[in-house]
């Protein structure tokens, strides 16, 4: 993977030794990040560099704190070969997942290894917290940093996953009226000032799709849709391996999609009089709708997870709940599939996880005849919070763009 003649990179003249050196450094660092510890010989084979050049590269990267030695390869003829790996202390990032009940923060090193987590309870219905968003975010991050034995000065960047989407034209968080403290046009700048890092605010379902794309069931697919059914309902669309965001960041806000049997969301995506948007697909398959559906069939449970667990073990009424829920999900999915024609649809969120394989099979059966395309249909199998996983993946990738650029050491 030695840099070809005529190649260029930021901060230098194309083809100069400095530029080629920086390109080789980045290629080696990316390989170490992808493969884990490697010997000098193996790194040379993967990059196409000679042994002396690979040795010089590793010495250089070790001297600037990007690479460290981590033992030797034993059990084979000849001298033991030294192993090299990314130095985890090269940079740390923060990732946050925001929901209606609070904020979860995680801190990870540049390899993606989580070093600390912290949860701050902050109900969206608590009006006393409306003007304390920056304070709450800082509390969550500081708690995660403390758990990791780090301070704010150790952070390189921060990614925050929230319901709704940040409108790139106005900087306002749209499609999330139930998070009143997050509506400021200057929110990103305010949070950057508090944490002293660049801030990325991304839609939570988009982050869940990124998690599936790199760590989950969508790893082998360039065209897929993730449908999230939880307290809120949304979708993320990935086409040609690229996440589709839309002009206002609202691509995939299918919770507002009008469907037979659902009240229309007349208030629009930013309505405050009806915090849940007032209607659409979300009124049919969101967690509150599942609890209500189960109750209509004699199954009384406080949450969607418990309602569906009861339905799965209750012949008759439970079967009716699952069949009706599958019909509702399939009707909404048919609209998405007809427009996007993905190869795969991943069902995620509380409702999908609780319904499991039985619900998936019923939805797949209901899809027959509703849409001409017939994508594969799978339930997410990610362990942990997919929103936080996607936020960490994004934060680490963003940090590597800067940290792995060794040309900055020559400036």
Specify the domain boundaries for CATH 3.30.420.40 within the chain: 90-204+385-402, 218-380
Please give the model's pTM, rounded to 2 decimal places.
Answer: 0.89
Q: Is pLDDT at 106 greater than 60 in this prediction? A: yes
pLDDT attached to residue 5: 39
Q: What is the CATH number of domain 15-84?
A: 1.10.10.10
Task: Round to whole Å and give the CA distance between 29 and 276.
Answer: 45
With vertex at residue 162, the alpha carbon angle to CA 159 and CA 163, rounded to the nearest 5 degrees, is 155
More confident of the two residues 17 and 377: 377
CB 94, CB 155: distance < 8 Å: yes
For residues 113 and 35, the answer to whether their CB atoms sit within 8 Å is no
For 378, which DSSP code? E
Domain with CATH 1.10.10.10 in the chain: 15-84
Q: Give me the CATH topology for the region 90-204+385-402.
A: Nucleotidyltransferase; domain 5 (3.30.420)
Q: What is the residue whose two structure tokens read 């060794």?
A: 406
Is residue 410's pLDDT more than 80? Answer: no
Q: What is the pLDDT of residue 7?
A: 43
β partners of residue 347: 227, 379
**Taking residues 192-213, what's their average pLDDT?**
95
pLDDT one-digit tens code per residue, 55-87: 999 999 999 999 999 988 765 555 668 999 999
Cα dihedral 391/396/398/404 (nearest 10): 180
Q: Kindly state the average pLDDT of the residues 216-244.
A: 96
> What average pLDDT does range 299-306 have in this prediction?
97
323 has pLDDT over 90: yes
Asked whether residue 229 carries a pLDDT value surpassing 50, the answer given is yes
Mean pLDDT value of segment 183-203: 91
- Rounded to 10°, the helix 187-195/133-148 angle is 30
Beta partners for residue 161, in sequence order: 97, 202
Q: Please, which pLDDT band fits residue 267 given cuts at 50, 70 and 90? A: low
- Residue 67's Cα: distance from chain center in Å? 27
Q: What is the pLDDT of residue 248?
A: 87
Tell me how crowded residue 370 is: count the other CB atoms within 10 A of its CB. 16
SS3 278: coil
Architecture of domain 218-380: 2-Layer Sandwich (3.30)
Predicted local distance difference test score (pLDDT) of residue 266: 66
Average pLDDT taken over every residue of the chain: 90
Q: Cα(198)–Cα(188) distance, rounded to whole angstroms?
A: 9
């Amino acid at each position: 993977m030695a840099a070809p003649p005529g190649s260029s990179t930021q901060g230098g003249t194309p083809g100069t030794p400095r530029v080629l050196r920086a390109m080789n450094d980045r290629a080696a660092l990316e390989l170490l990040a992808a493969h884990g510890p490697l010997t000098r010989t193996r790194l040379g084979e993967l990059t196409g560099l000679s042994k002396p050049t690979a040795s010089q590269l590793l010495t250089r990267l070790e001297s600037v704190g990007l690479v460290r030695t981590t033992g030797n390869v034993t059990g084979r003829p000849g001298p033991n070969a030294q192993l090299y790996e990314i130095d985890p202390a090269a940079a740390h990032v923060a990732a946050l997942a925001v929901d209606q009940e609070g904020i979860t923060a995680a801190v990870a090193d540049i390899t993606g290894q989580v070093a600390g987590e912290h949860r701050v309870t902050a109900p969206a219905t608590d009006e006393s917290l409306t003007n304390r968003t920056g304070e709450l975010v800082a509390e969550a991050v500081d708690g995660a940093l403390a758990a990791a034995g780090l301070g704010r000065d150790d952070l390189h960047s921060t990614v925050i996953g929230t319901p709704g989407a940040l409108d790139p034209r106005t900087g306002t968080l749209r499609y999330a009226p139930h998070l009143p403290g997050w509506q400021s046009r200057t929110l990103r700048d305010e949070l950057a000032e508090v944490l002293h890092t660049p801030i990325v605010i991304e839609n939570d379902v988009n982050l869940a799709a990124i998690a599936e794309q790199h760590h989950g069931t969508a790893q082998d697919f360039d065209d897929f849709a993730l449908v999230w059914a939880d307290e809120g309902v949304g979708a993320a669309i990935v086409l040609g391996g690229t996440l589709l965001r839309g002009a206002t960041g609202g691509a995939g806000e299918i919770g507002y999609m009008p469907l037979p049997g659902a009240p229309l969301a007349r208030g629009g995506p930013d309505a405050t009089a009806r915090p849940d948007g007032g209607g659409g697909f979300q009124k049919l398959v969101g967690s509150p709708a599942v609890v209500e559906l189960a109750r209509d069939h004699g199954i009384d449970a406080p949450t969607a997870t418990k309602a569906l667990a009861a339905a799965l073990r209750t012949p008759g009424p439970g079967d009716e709940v699952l069949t009706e829920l599958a019909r509702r999900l399939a009707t909404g999915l048919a609209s998405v599939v007809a427009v996007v024609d993905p190869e795969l649809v991943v069902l995620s969120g509380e409702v999908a996880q609780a319904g499991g394989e039985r619900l998936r099979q019923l939805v797949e059966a209901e899809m027959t005849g509703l849409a001409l395309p017939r994508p594969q249909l799978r339930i997410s199998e990610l362990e942990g919070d997919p929103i936080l996983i996607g936020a960490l993946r994004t934060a680490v990738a963003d940090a590597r763009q800067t940290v792995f650029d060794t040309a900055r050491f020559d400036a």
